[in-house]
Amino acid sequence: MTAAFRWIIARHLARERLRTLLTLAGVALGVGVFVSVRLASTSALASFTDTVDAVAGRANLELSGGSEGIDERAFPLARGTAGVIAAAPIVQIDALARPGGPASRRASDDPDAMRARVSYPDQVLVLGVDVFSEAAFERFRLWGDADSATAGAGPAALEFLNDPRAAAITRALATRHGLAPGDSLTVLSSGLPVVLIVRRVIESQALQQAYGGNVVIVDLAAAQQHFNRLGRLDRIDLVVDPARRDAVAAELTRRLPAGVTVETPRGRSRQVENMVRAFQLNLTALSFIALFVASFLILNTVSMSVTRRRREIGIVRALGMTRADVAALFVSEGVFFGVIGGAIGLVLGTLLARTTLGAVSQTLNDLYLVYHAQTLRPDVASYVIAYVLGVLVSLAAALVPALEAAATPPASTVRQGAFTPPSHRGFGRWTLLGAMLLGAAALVAVWTVSTHRPWGGFVSAALVLAAGSALAPGFTLAIESAVAPLARRLGGIEAALATGFLRASVARTSVVVAALMVSVGMWVALSIMVGSFRRTVDTWIQQSVRGDLYVEPAGHRLNLSSTVLSASLVDSLRRTPAIAAVDTYRGSRITYGGRPAFVAGIDFEVQRRFGRLSFTRGDPRELLARARSRDEVIASESFAHHHRVAPGDSIALAGADGRVRRLRVAGVFYDYSSDAGIVMMDRGLYARMWSDRTESLALYLAPGADADAVRARLVLLAGPDLLLSITPNRALRTRVLEVFDQTFRITYALQAIAILVAVLGVFGTLTALVLQRRREIGILRATGALRSQVMKMVLVESGLLGLIGALLGAIAGVLLALVLVHVINTQYFGWTIRMAIDPWVFVSAVFAMAAAAMLAGIGPARLAAGRLAAEAVRAE
């Protein structure tokens, strides 16, 4: 078989160099996009997992209490539990950082909160550790220690931390900023810059990777002081007898307050993985589209190869090649594309992955507050999966034409003058199959929604694409019949010939139509979905973001828990005449039903009077008043979806004191801030359950009040040390939409690549068709067709191909959009998106595709009109 492959397939591929290269490029792009997205999302998560592992050290169990933390009185309880070998209390803060002293405050009171990033370029993980508890965990290997490990040196190794300003930083951070012992480093997490003095450099290898290498260690008490964590711990790390871990965990759960979660460090990573799974899955599904489109390219290339070599197949069949060998030969052609194109794709994907990682981890950071990973970690599994997938897809794509080749009877091609007339047989069957697949897609969609099986949405979408592919031949013929008279009238004889050629080769061209359908369909569907989603979100912000100014300490977003705006500041603002109302916000990350979620306290009374939260049902004002007076909560749509909660149901939440309260859900409100889900309650209830701190404010100005004057007063009230970011309503809305657009930017990039692959298909197919029609074109030229007429003919044909593909794609796109909006989105994220179709989407898709296809036709048209025609005439 190897010699047969080399002789029969490889030489043909070498002869048809351009087509081979185009197909390889298509496969390489398909595999490349897939691998880059996978590498990016695994890198983003691996970075999180590595951080958890590195920071955990030898800890095999950890206690945490959401973002409100754990009361430090729980520490002796935990340490005293039977089976616990060692325990270490930890305060953990995500903060902004800059080498040297604090930045001048001008930069950070800029209306745009993101400007703080300019003066504080790094994001660091600050760990407050207890000098006396660390030895057993062996996580901080310090430079210059006699035996280089905290374990060996005992508590003495970390003694330098007794100075509340002292810090140890990782070698990676020190190198990046040229920091040496004695230099200062300023960290900012809740508006108040904290200046630390670097005393030691941490050499532990694992920590150089954790959090991008940006880890800072300070003393526990100092951390509590600097970061508003007095009396609170973020975690208690435990080393327990591994054999009795489960029993110890059970005992700890029993002894400690209800709000404290006992889990393994791995468990924490898994929670985050679960939270971002839907996002990753959707991204992966999208990244597969380019490869799917490339499969049509392979199908077409192998198909063309079979058609052009029908006679040769007949000869080798007559000479004794079995059907199975013929099939294997052409399958091997497809596999060749998978093997070589896939390998190029892996390299390409690795190059693309860095850019992709930036986009993916920015989105994970924006939506899920997962640390913004910057280091790409190529993993073998991603490469293997992408490569195997590329080869399998190529093999599958080659199967149909390979079987067609195997069915070639030796007689039909060796018989003198035998030719295969264009056959439209079987198109009816394809159309019927298409209709059945559409029906199946609808059934699966209904089933998915009624049984809450989110993955059914992908099956339904795949069925829509399969249906569109099956309908492609019939659709191509139908549209060709419909537009042919018009084309003839407008385009003359050339257009008439073009439509005739299109009709004659519909078995081939419909594969291109299918490829175009997939890429245009996805494009249209995503445009509709994203457009509808954006409009929904925009309406939502306009309704729910009613405050005039939003105030938070700089760095707040990184670290929901540690920020506090003083009560005196809030009171002063309340007394300011220009301010009609002040809504206070505080929030906490919790784990509910095994999933991360948020709980927030706001002022329901202010919300009732000034806000416009929109609920799935019920009057917002009545609902909020009732919830406030009866200690009820309101849940976001995502929360209600994930936890199957409806108005009137109760949810159980454990407060900071460990007491579990059953709270009735008064209503479900629309919220698109995060698909993790959020539960909101009145600030009074929140204060009773957790704490009475304020993280951020929404200010409603009195009519006619001057926003700038209020800003100035606010800065004055805050005092010289507190860095606030004050965002006007409009800037906040813009920022939300920016995050939204950023989230979908990668989606569009993936789609653009899929379209590029489809256009490569048009180019390749037309070139092959032109070569195949060498004889007809030669006769045309011989009988007086001008070069320009031949070119026009090919261009009309390519434009028509683009048009037909785009039309079918537009129809498939609407159906896909329905699945995306009403099945996939609701099932995975629990968001209601009001579907709105912008007709411009269709107009632009259809025109752009027809134009792109026509552009792709220029090369083949020149080929047809030039050298080739001359050769053909001579041959005749």
Partner 1 sequence: MSGRPDAGAPPAHVAIRLTDVVKEYGAGPVGDRDRRKPADSAETPFVRALAGVSFDIEAGERVAIVGPSGSGKSTLLHVIAGIDVPTSGEAWVAGRALARLGDDALTRHRRDAVGMVFQSFHLLPTLAARENVALPALLAGSGERAALARADELLGEVGLGERRRAMPHTLSGGEMQRVALARALIREPRLLLADEPTGNLDSRASGRVLEMIVELSRVHGTTVVMVTHSREAAAMAERVIEIRDGAVTGDRRAPYPTPAP
Q: For binding to partner 1 (CB under 8 A), which residues are involved? A: 3-4, 7-8, 11-12, 15, 311-312, 315-325, 407-412, 414-416, 418, 420-421, 423, 425
Which residue number, 5 or 368, has a Cβ lying nearer to partner 1?
Answer: 5
Which residue number, 358 or 409, has a Cβ lying nearer to partner 1?
Answer: 409
Contact 830/677 with Cβ under 8 angstroms? yes
Contact 815/516 with Cβ under 8 angstroms? no
CA separation for the pair 756, 184 (Å, rounded)? 51
Which residue number, 7 or 840, has a Cβ lying nearer to partner 1?
Answer: 7
Which residue number, 4 or 858, has a Cβ lying nearer to partner 1?
Answer: 4
CB of 322 to partner 1, least distance (A): 5
Contact 224/232 with Cβ under 8 angstroms? yes
Which residue number, 244 or 308, has a Cβ lying nearer to partner 1?
Answer: 308
State how beta strands 678-682 and 595-602 pair. parallel
CA separation for the pair 522, 527 (Å, rounded)? 8
User: Helix or strand or coil: residue 570?
Assistant: helix
Which residue number, 425 or 874, has a Cβ lying nearer to partner 1?
Answer: 425
CB of 12 to partner 1, least distance (A): 6
CB of 331 to partner 1, least distance (A): 17
CB of 477 to partner 1, least distance (A): 18
CA 352: distance to chain centroid? Answer: 15
Determine the angle formed by the axes of helices 342-368 and 265-308, rounding to 10 degrees.
140
CB of 395 to partner 1, least distance (A): 22
Which residue number, 18 or 493, has a Cβ lying nearer to partner 1?
Answer: 18
CB of 505 to partner 1, least distance (A): 17
CB of 310 to partner 1, least distance (A): 10
Residue 686, number of CB atoms within 10 A of its CB: 25
What one-character-per-residue DSSP string does 487-543 give?
HHHHHHHHHHHHHHHHHHTHHHHHHHHHHHHHHHHHHHHHHHHHHHHHHHHHHHHHH
Which residue number, 318 or 482, has a Cβ lying nearer to partner 1?
Answer: 318
Contact 126/211 with Cβ under 8 angstroms? no
What one-character-per-residue DSSP string does 202-226 give?
E--HHHHHGGGG-EEEEEHHHHHHH
| Closest listed residue to residue 441, CA positions, set 513, 805, 449, 293 | 449
CB of 4 to partner 1, least distance (A): 6
Residue type for 398, please?
A
Which residue number, 313 or 444, has a Cβ lying nearer to partner 1?
Answer: 313
CB of 400 to partner 1, least distance (A): 14
Contact 223/161 with Cβ under 8 angstroms? no
Which residue number, 12 or 595, has a Cβ lying nearer to partner 1?
Answer: 12
Start-to-end CA span in the chain (Å): 36
CB of 312 to partner 1, least distance (A): 5
Contact 582/699 with Cβ under 8 angstroms? yes
CB of 320 to partner 1, least distance (A): 2
Which residue number, 405 or 714, has a Cβ lying nearer to partner 1?
Answer: 405
CA-based torsion, 640, 643, 648, 650: positive or negative: negative
Contact 60/242 with Cβ under 8 angstroms? yes
Which residue number, 403 or 739, has a Cβ lying nearer to partner 1?
Answer: 403
Instruction: Convert 209-246 to b/e letters by CB count within 10 Å (16 or more is b).
Output: bbbbbbbbbbbbbbbbbbbbbeebbbbbbbbbeeeeee
| Closest listed residue to residue 525, CA positions, set 759, 692, 285 | 285
CB of 501 to partner 1, least distance (A): 20
